[in-house]
Amino acid sequence: MFVLCKLDRSMTMLLVDMKADGVSVGKPDKKMGNHSQLTADVYFENVFIPSEQLVGDEGKGLKAALTSLTLGRVGIGACGVGMAQAAFDFAVDYMQNRSVFGKPLSNYQYWQFRFADYATQLENARNLYVKAAITQDKKRPSVANQCAMAKLIGSALAGDVARDAIQVCGGYGFVKELAATGQQFPLEAIYRDSKIGEIYEGANEIQRLLIARSIFGKDAVG
């Protein structure tokens, strides 16, 4: 695993063999969602790292870590769009087949307008992370700003769409599995999983700060 270490007064990135002497991993954390991505404490006790496992240049590990965070935001934006699209598709199918007061839910203008807005936001969010990825591939200077925007919009949209999808699907949105039939429903998991997107790779508040800095400058924003 990559480990960012304090060395003298700077940060250095090292590649640590997880099977090396002195490396141990604690039990996986129990989390609200994102269960497929395990997190746990890692312990080091007198671990020796050979010089060939230095990543990049000594003292420049923080820059490497921040670069990785920036690029990771594109992926989080894409994941957010994927979750939002999945919740959107499930809810649309449900609304077309579920009748309330004698007509399908899809006939009610409130939900028509709500999901028309979400369809537009999905298209915008998808275009944004694709544009950020292209910007990175072409090494254009605006990449950090676009990565921040892609992460901010994609991750927030996943939670918004999942929440309203659960609302319109009612009990079938809230339930995970029906005991009587064993039928499973995806929305509760999408809703739980979506939240971490607003937190990791820099919380969305940080993304707004970065975007504001690109508009007003570092002297004004900090």
CA pair distance 140, 121, nearest whole angstrom = 25
Alpha carbon 126 to chain centroid, angstroms? 14
Cα–Cα separations (whole angstroms), residue 59 to 5, 10, 23, 105, 111: 9, 5, 23, 59, 54
CA pair distance 113, 115, nearest whole angstrom = 6
Tokens of 55: 């990543």
Neighbours of 148 (CB within 10 A): 27
Q: What 8-state DSSP symbol labels residue 28?
A: P
- Cβ atoms 157, 84 nearer than 8 A: yes
Active-site residue 201, yes or no? yes
Contacts of 121 (CB under 8 A, 6+ apart): 84, 153, 157
**Catalytic residue of the set 45, 52, 123, 201:** 201
- Cβ atoms 88, 106 nearer than 8 A: no
Alpha carbon 216 to chain centroid, angstroms? 26
Tokens of 151: 């992460």
CA pair distance 198, 98, nearest whole angstrom = 32
Q: Could you list the active site residues?
A: 201
